[in-house]
């Protein structure tokens, strides 16, 4: 409801501003158009180097007023909407963060680029010497702040790689130098209604054929920088998104694979002869190809839908932080590129409204950058809420796990780092651990309490994602066939009072023993009655289950 109220308020302000500008512009146009009709001649427009008639002059002034009011309204609406967030940032620990510093810079660095064009458009000047010098430099400053935001963002995504830092610092400096050089040589000229507007050439002669349109190349430099930063950041984010794909695919190790390979291998001397191809069948190959055309057309028609479905499935498996970074990058790129391309085309065709859209560049970039910084700030520093249905949340839970209240105080950035480290640990443990086969050590008796704990492990939804039991092997005599001690199955039991057993009891090379193991329940009960500080650390349900299977119980 609050957002709707602010939206209606800004819409009303926009309508009032348009009506006021319409009345002011109509008065100025009427006074000057009377002179034009009396003298019966057209007017040379310095913004396009074209001769405009009365109708074109009125249309150009009206559109320029609308765009200026829209720019001011857009900035004021965004400023009021994000004012509560800005007040929360004025804290000592918050002001040290680079996101907050860049947010404040782009927020207040855009104000000069809004005030100067509005003042020069709605004020009345008699000659071009009264126009402010180098007015367009303020737009170059806004572009430099946008470049700093995206350079910092890309460097953070690449984890401060040295070559990325050097590349982006050089590119940002080059873009800023080119923009300042282009807009520095642009000048303003007085139009028929007394407003100062950017002119095409660097001198005051609007008919000079050697005039350079610096604003057109300014849009081109912006597009080049946006493309480079988007490619760098998107490549690394997609790499992060595909880090844990192998964990979703179950891997089965088949012991009889080598036997099947040997069985399917045939001797070349015993191979069957090649079948004789019938001529009639060969002639009908063209007919078969024609019959396959409908199925081929069907597969071609379904290809875009399959690709879209694949992309949606891939997007649903992303972590919240990676999904937010990718979405913000593409959203800014599409909006900014569309704006720059449209203005570049208008400058190329020498439209009468081309210079009017330069006023809209600064507030539009400010709104996009502010929203991007705020959403990414929330994604990085917000607390974890397990109840939210965010893409990739369940996949992260399967890898990292949940720990109740302690997990709720963890930020998304820390959770993502833990997610990456857990992936590496699980992959390393799965490569190093080798478990013996089931039934290798014979059948033994087991206590009912241990069996109930093993049954609980089967019902655990996250049991398959815990760290596997690490089996110790030693270099003792492999012929030692002493029975397996149950203390290896449940370390909390007080079997350390018994005689020591060899350390190679779980070694697969040991000769299995068929003698059953008897468990003293009194000793077990006395051990469970011990205090928590004296008892040994408990094994998880999955570790108990795997230990039981390794022992062949």
Q: Coil, helix or strand for 139?
A: helix
Contact status, residue 481 vs residue 511, Cβ threshold 8 Å = yes
Q: What is the DSSP string of 268-283?
A: GGGPPPPPPPPHHHHH
Taking the C-alpha atoms of residue 176 and residue 178, their distance in angstroms, rounded to an integer, is 5
Q: Specify the pTM.
A: 0.57
- Region class of 278: left (phi > 0), else alpha (psi between -120 and 50), else beta: beta
pLDDT in tens, the chain (553 residues): 445 555 555 555 555 554 455 444 444 443 343 333 334 457 777 777 777 787 888 888 888 889 999 999 999 999 999 999 899 888 877 888 888 899 999 999 999 999 988 888 888 888 877 888 777 888 889 999 999 999 999 998 998 899 999 999 999 999 888 888 877 777 778 887 788 887 765 444 444 444 567 788 888 899 999 999 999 999 998 888 877 554 444 455 555 565 555 555 555 555 545 555 555 545 556 666 666 666 667 778 778 888 888 888 888 777 778 888 899 999 999 999 999 999 898 888 888 888 888 889 999 999 999 999 998 888 776 554 444 444 444 444 544 454 444 444 455 566 666 666 766 676 666 655 544 444 444 444 444 545 555 555 444 444 444 444 444 444 444 444 444 444 343 333 333 344 444 444 444 444 444 444 444 444 444 444 444 444 455 667 776 766 666 655 5
Among 110, 117, 137, which Cα is nearest to 197's?
117
For CA atoms 45, 48, 54, 57, give the dihedral sign.
Answer: negative
DSSP element (H, E) containing 52: strand 50-52
Contact status, residue 146 vs residue 365, Cβ threshold 8 Å = yes
Among 326, 161, 298, which Cα is nearest to 230's?
326
Give me the residue spans of the domains in the chain.
2-246+317-381, 393-432, 441-467+482-497+536-553
Q: Which residues contact 507 (CB under 8 A, 6 or more apart)?
A: 473, 474, 476, 478
Q: What is the DSSP string of 84-103?
A: HHHHHH-STTTTTSHHHHHH
Torsion angle, alpha carbons of 42, 46, 49, 55, to 10: -40
Measured between alpha carbons, how far is residue 526 from residues 466, 499, 520 in Å? Answer: 29, 18, 10
Question: What is the DSSP pairing of strand 43-45 with strand 50-52?
Answer: antiparallel
What single-letter DSSP state applies at residue 242?
A: T
Taking the C-alpha atoms of residue 439 and residue 538, their distance in angstroms, rounded to an integer, is 25
The third-level CATH classification (topology) of the domain covering 2-246+317-381 is Rhopdopsin 7-helix transmembrane proteins (1.20.1070)
Q: Coil, helix or strand for 43?
A: strand
Relative orientation angle of helices 162-184 and 214-241, to the nearest 10 degrees:
160
Looking at 55-198, which runs of residues are DSSP E strands? 188-190, 196-198
What is the chain's alpha carbon radius of gyration, rounded to the nearest angstrom? 37
């Amino acid at each position: 409801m609050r957002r709707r109220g602010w939206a209606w308020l800004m819409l009303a302000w926009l309508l009032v501003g348009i009506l006021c500008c319409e009345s002011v512009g109509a008065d100025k146009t009427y006074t000057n158009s009377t002179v034009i009709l009396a003298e019966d001649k057209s007017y040379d427009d310095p913004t396009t180097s074209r001769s405009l008639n009365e109708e074109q002059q009125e249309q150009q002034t009206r559109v320029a007023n609308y765009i200026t009011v829209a720019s001011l309204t857009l900035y004021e609406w965004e400023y009021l909407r994000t004012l509560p967030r800005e007040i929360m940032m004025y804290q000592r620990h918050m002001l040290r963060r680079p996101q907050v510093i860049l947010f404040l810079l782009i927020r207040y660095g855009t104000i000069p680029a809004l005030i100067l064009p509005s003042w020069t458009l709605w004020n009345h000047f008699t000659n071009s010497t009264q126009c402010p010098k180098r007015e367009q430099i303020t737009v170059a400053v806004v572009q430099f702040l946008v470049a700093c935001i995206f350079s910092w963002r890309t460097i953070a995504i690449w984890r401060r790689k040295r070559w990325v830092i050097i590349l982006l610092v050089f590119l940002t400096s080059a873009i800023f130098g080119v923009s300042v050089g282009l807009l520095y040589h642009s000048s303003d000229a007085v139009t028929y209604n007394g407003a100062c507007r950017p002119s095409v050439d660097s001198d005051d002669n609007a008919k000079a054929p050697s005039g350079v349109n610096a604003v057109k190349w300014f849009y081109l430099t912006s597009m080049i920088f946006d493309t480079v930063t988007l490619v760098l950041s998107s490549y690394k984010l997609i790499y992060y998104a595909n880090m844990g794909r192998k964990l979703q695919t179950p891997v089965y190790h088949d012991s009889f694979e080598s036997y099947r390979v040997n069985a399917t291998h045939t001797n070349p001397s015993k191979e069957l002869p090649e079948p004789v191809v019938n001529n009639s069948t060969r002639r009908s190959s063209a007919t078969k190809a024609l019959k396959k055309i409908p199925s081929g057309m069907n597969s071609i028609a379904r290809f875009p839908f399959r690709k879209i479905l694949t992309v949606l499935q891939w997007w649903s498996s992303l972590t919240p932080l990676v999904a937010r970074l990718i979405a913000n990058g593409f959203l800014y790129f599409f909006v900014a590129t569309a704006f720059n391309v449209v203005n570049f085309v208008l400058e190329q065709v020498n439209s009468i409204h081309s210079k009017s859209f330069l006023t809209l560049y600064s507030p539009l970039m400010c709104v996009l950058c502010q929203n991007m910084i705020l959403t990414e700030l929330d994604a990085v520093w917000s607390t974890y809420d397990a109840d939210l249905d965010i893409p990739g949340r369940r996949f992260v839970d399967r890898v990292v796990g949940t720990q109740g209240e302690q997990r709720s105080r963890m930020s998304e950035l820390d959770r993502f780092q833990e997610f990456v480290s857990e992936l590496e640990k699980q992959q390393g443990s799965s490569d190093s651990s080798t478990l013996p086969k089931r039934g290798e050590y014979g059948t033994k008796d087991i206590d009912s309490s241990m069996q109930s704990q093993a049954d609980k492990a089967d019902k655990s939804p996250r049991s398959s994602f815990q760290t596997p039991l690490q089996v110790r092997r030693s270099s003792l005599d492999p012929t030692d066939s002493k029975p397996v001690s149950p203390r290896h199955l449940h370390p909390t039991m007080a079997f350390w009072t018994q005689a020591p057993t060899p350390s190679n009891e779980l070694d697969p090379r040991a000769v299995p023993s068929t003698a059953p193991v008897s468990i003293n329940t009194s000793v077990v009960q006395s051990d469970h009655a011990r205090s928590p500080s004296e008892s040994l650390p408990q094994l998880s349900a999955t570790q108990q289950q795997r230990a039981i299977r390794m022992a062949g119980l």
